[in-house]
Chain A
Amino acid sequence: MSRTLLDKVWESHAVRVLPNGSTQLLIGTHLIHEVTSPQAFGMLRDLGLKVLYPSRTFATVDHIVPTDERDEPFSDSLADAMIKALRKNCADSGIKFFDLPTGQQGIIHIVGPEQGITQPGTTIACGDSHTSTHGAFGAIAFGIGTSQVRDVLATQTMAIRKPKVRRINVDGKLAPGVYSKDVILHIIRQLGVNGGLGFAYEYGGGTFDAFTQEERMTVCNMSIEGGARVGYVNPDETTFSYLRGRPYAPGAGQWNAAVARWKASASDSGASYDDVVAFRAEDIAPTVTWGINPGQAIFIDENVPRLDEVPEKDRATAEEALAHMHLKAGQPIKGTKVDVAFLGSCTNGRLSDLTEVARHIKGRKVRAGVKALVVPGSQAVAALAESMGLAAIFKDAGFEWRGAGCSMCLGMNPDQLVGDQLCASSSNRNFKGRQGSPTGRTVLMSPLMVAAAALTGEISDAREIFNVR
């Protein structure tokens, strides 16, 4: 019988069915960070339990690290206590920690892939909802709470229900200036922020076949914003060539066998799905959010919706969004004044994101009065970008070049909005208060659109600003 990748991975990782009908699922790779793990280690100590597979657990520090002054102790004593707790917990349990001095630290969802830890046909869990990123490699990867971090540390398994699978096909060729970020924002806009409840999203079709591995990561990253805890792309040659030679990828002696297994893990051609939807790449334009959840999005040429255009059930949220964003129903989004431009995060903080922006902004200048930040997703990304001369291009243009971390994606470190500043952001969430200020305003968009906003001081169409044809 034809099966999906999810079916196959589920079958090979199911330990047993629990009394309430959930699956006890083996988690092959457990990623941890400083925010959601200390309480879990505390619970283990209270229960007298040890980490069962320390060699399958990997840690880094990302949410709370400052991106400018990185010397320890951190000026924020709470943040300092969190990094020290993680360092001690990893040392006590024998867990590999990609710590600040290693040159391998970064956002956990960028470190896993670049180290070759993220592999096809595996299960991955992390106390972070953007764990869906790793699905870009054909892994079944999902965010978990802290009690489940405890469960995985102690048993390398967790209790979970098998989701249904929705196949999302995107075919055709994206127009110049349209990116994978626009694809996922468009998907969420169309299917809703809760459309994926109970589903894993399997992304495929010609557009995905043509995507680089990093473009696929951007899409899978935001699956959770559409309500889907899991999003994945079937592994192919693009995936294998990305992984070859990375530190934790199979070595030359095991490579061919691993690739054979990985190929076999992909969904069979006749697999059946609980739901199938299709989009055309040609229908997608640069997309920006206008509201307070990622589904409240429009094309850059569209106007903010009038309330009578919004389905009745969504109207109250739309009104709340307009009030928070200081936008008027029916107004163009283009031209809205921008205070801050943030390029980074687990969604768009990878080398290809920085490369694409740098090639367009070379020789241009950030608009006076705009605070523009570039935050590489990992120390490895930063080092490569510096050696390639990208950092210099950003700095010459007036961007601040920072150290690796989650930075302004969420308000857990010194990079935060002030008051009701409006931020053009390559991150993943525009929730009220997300970027650290309760009244701060976030507009999500692709990295090149962030650059266009930085240069013009307003929400702009990057295709016009950079003459992209």
Chain B
Amino acid sequence: MSLEKITQVTGRGVYVPGDDIDTDRIIPARFMKCVTFDGLGEFTFKDARAATEAEKKVHPLDDPRFAGAGILLSGSNFGCGSSREHAPQALYRFGFRAILAESFAEIFFGNSTTLGMPCAVMKPDDLRAVAALIESDPAALLTVDLMEGKVSVADMDFAAALPEHAKEALVTGRWDAIADLLESLDGVKACAAKLPYMAA
């Protein structure tokens, strides 16, 4: 299985502010009654968007200025809570190809990487600076460069880093681990054979 080598992601950005945005917020549980991931995109931040609309305000994801954005920006501990892969699947189907945040919850980070959607960590001040640039020029293109560990926008560079293992997996086209895991089934069986509880 050969996968695309993901070294750069370019797209317009949208900033959804807030810390500890949980996966229930990204996709409420009642929209997970499904046996495939198809069609999840429309439920992205569904309740948050409806609540914003009810307040006669515009949620960033419904703001026409940011329509078609491919890079999502948010706060710290993004994707905490439920392990539901439905969350990154919904974001991907909504059109996002990379996420920039102050930090990510661990399960969400792994799920996103496995989809080939890089999650890069930025310093709070840098993140807010990029968000301000997007706000002033929503058409500005952001380029997340995995090799260089930076995001470039409007002739400026900001540090945006991935942990080494995730970067390595993405840039070498091994972000979906299944091919690597299938290579060593003999090793798996040998390891299992040494564990009494697996033999029983």
- Which of B28, B29, B32: most chain A CB closer than 10 A? B29
Indicate whether A284 reaches chain B with its CB closer than 8 angstroms: no
For B22, B35, B172, B188, the residue with the greatest tally of chain A CB atoms inside 10 Å of its CB is B35
B178 within 8 A of A: yes
In whole angstroms, how far apart are the Cα atoms of A81 and B20 in the complex?
A: 33
Interface size on A, residues (CB 8 A): 86
The contact of A24 among B85, B88, B176, B184, by CB within 8 Å, is: B184
Instruction: Verify if B25 is at the interface (C-beta below 8 Å from A).
Output: yes
Cross-chain contact B110 with A194 (CB below 8 angstroms)? no
Does the CB pair B197–A28 fall under 8 Å?
A: yes
The answer, yes or no, to whether A317 is at the interface (CB within 8 Å) is yes
| A451 → chain B closest CB, angstroms | 26
Q: Does B114 contact A (CB under 8 A)?
A: yes
With A53-B192, A229-B107 given, is the CB distance from A39 to B36 under 8 Å? yes
- 8 Å CB contact of A15 from B47, B83, B184: B184
Q: Which of A38, A151, A416 contacts B35 (CB 8 A)?
A: A38
Q: Does B107 contact A129, Cβ atoms closer than 8 Å?
A: yes
Contact A412 B19 (CB under 8 A): no
B139 located at the interface, meaning its Cβ lies under 8 Å from any Cβ of chain A in the complex:
no
| A residues less than 8 Å from B156 (CB atoms) | none
CA separation between A122 and B197, bound complex, in Å? 8
Within 8 A of B (CB), among A313-368: 313-314, 316-317, 320
Residue from A13, A76, A157, A411 within 8 A of B195 (CB atoms): A13
Within 8 A of A (CB), among B72-111: 76-77, 80-86, 88-89, 103, 105-107, 110-111
Assuming the A-B contacts A147-B115, A154-B181, A313-B19, are A12 and B196 also in contact, with contact meaning beta carbons closer than 8 angstroms in the complex?
no
Q: How far is the CA of A147 from the CA of B92 in the complex (A)?
A: 14
For the complex, is B187 an interface residue (Cβ under 8 Å from A)?
Answer: yes
Which of A19, A42, A49, A82 counts the most B-chain CB atoms under 10 A from its CB? A19
Give 1 or 0 for each of A21-34: 1 = CB within 8 Å of chain B CB: 11010101100000
A127, CB-defined interface residue at 8 Å:
yes
Distance to closest chain A CB from B27 (angstroms):
10
> Is B30 a contact partner of A436 (Cβ separation < 8 A)?
yes
Q: Which of the 9-residue segments B61-69, B129-137, B142-150, B161-169 touches chain A?
A: B161-169
Residues of A close to B174: CB separation below 8 A: 19-20
Give every chain B residue within 8 A of A160 (Cβ-Cβ).
110
Contact of A53 among B80, B111, B165, B198 (CB under 8 A): B198
Contact A39 B35 (CB under 8 A): yes
A85: Cβ under 8 A from any B Cβ: yes
The reply to whether B180 and A145 form a contact with Cβ atoms under 8 Å apart is: no
B50 pairs with A429, CB closer than 8 A: no
A194 contacts B103, C-beta separation under 8 Å: yes
Partner of B85, one of A145, A194, A254: A145
Contacts of B200 in A (CB 8 A): 250, 254
B119 to chain A: closest CB distance in Å?
A: 13
Nearest neighbor of A149 in chain B, beta-carbon distance? B85
> How distant is the Cα of A38 from the Cα of B37 in the complex, in angstroms?
10
Residues of B within 8 A of A147 (CB): 85, 111, 114-115, 176, 178
Chain A residues contacting B51 (CB-CB under 8 Å) are 438-439
A53-B198, A227-B80, A317-B18 as given contacts; A438 in contact with B50, CB under 8 Å? yes
Cβ contact within 8 Å between B37 and A19: no
A133 → B minimal CB distance (Å) = 13
Nearest A residue to B177, CB-CB: A159
Q: Contact string, A152-175, partner B, CB cutoff 8 A, digits 1/0?
A: 001111111100000000000000
**Known contacts A193-B77, A317-B19, A432-B24, A144 near B182 by CB under 8 Å:** no
Q: Quick check: is A110 within 8 A (CB to CB) of the other chain? A: no
B24 contacts across to A, CB distance below 8 A: 410, 429, 431-434
- In the complex, whether B56 has a CB less than 8 A from a CB of chain A is no
Shortest beta-carbon contacts, A-B, top 5: A145-B85, A145-B111, A143-B83, A78-B33, A38-B35
Chain A residues in contact with chain B, CB under 8 A?
12-16, 18-22, 24, 26, 28-29, 35-36, 38-39, 42, 47, 49, 52-53, 56, 63-64, 76, 78-79, 81-82, 85, 119, 122, 127-129, 131, 142-148, 150-151, 154-161, 193-194, 197-198, 224-225, 227, 229, 250, 254, 257-258, 261, 293, 313-314, 316-317, 320, 410-412, 416, 429, 431-434, 436, 438-439
| B-to-A contact residues, CB < 8 Å | 17-20, 22, 24-25, 28-30, 32-37, 47-48, 50-51, 76-77, 80-86, 88-89, 103, 105-107, 110-111, 114-115, 163-166, 168-169, 172, 174, 176-178, 180-182, 184-185, 187-188, 191-192, 194-198, 200
- Beyond known contacts A15-B184, A26-B188: 6 more, CB 8 A cutoff: A20-B165, A36-B84, A155-B178, A157-B181, A161-B163, A438-B50
Chain A to chain B contacts (Cβ below 8 Å), 9 pairs = A21-B165, A28-B192, A82-B34, A146-B86, A146-B89, A150-B178, A155-B182, A158-B177, A193-B20
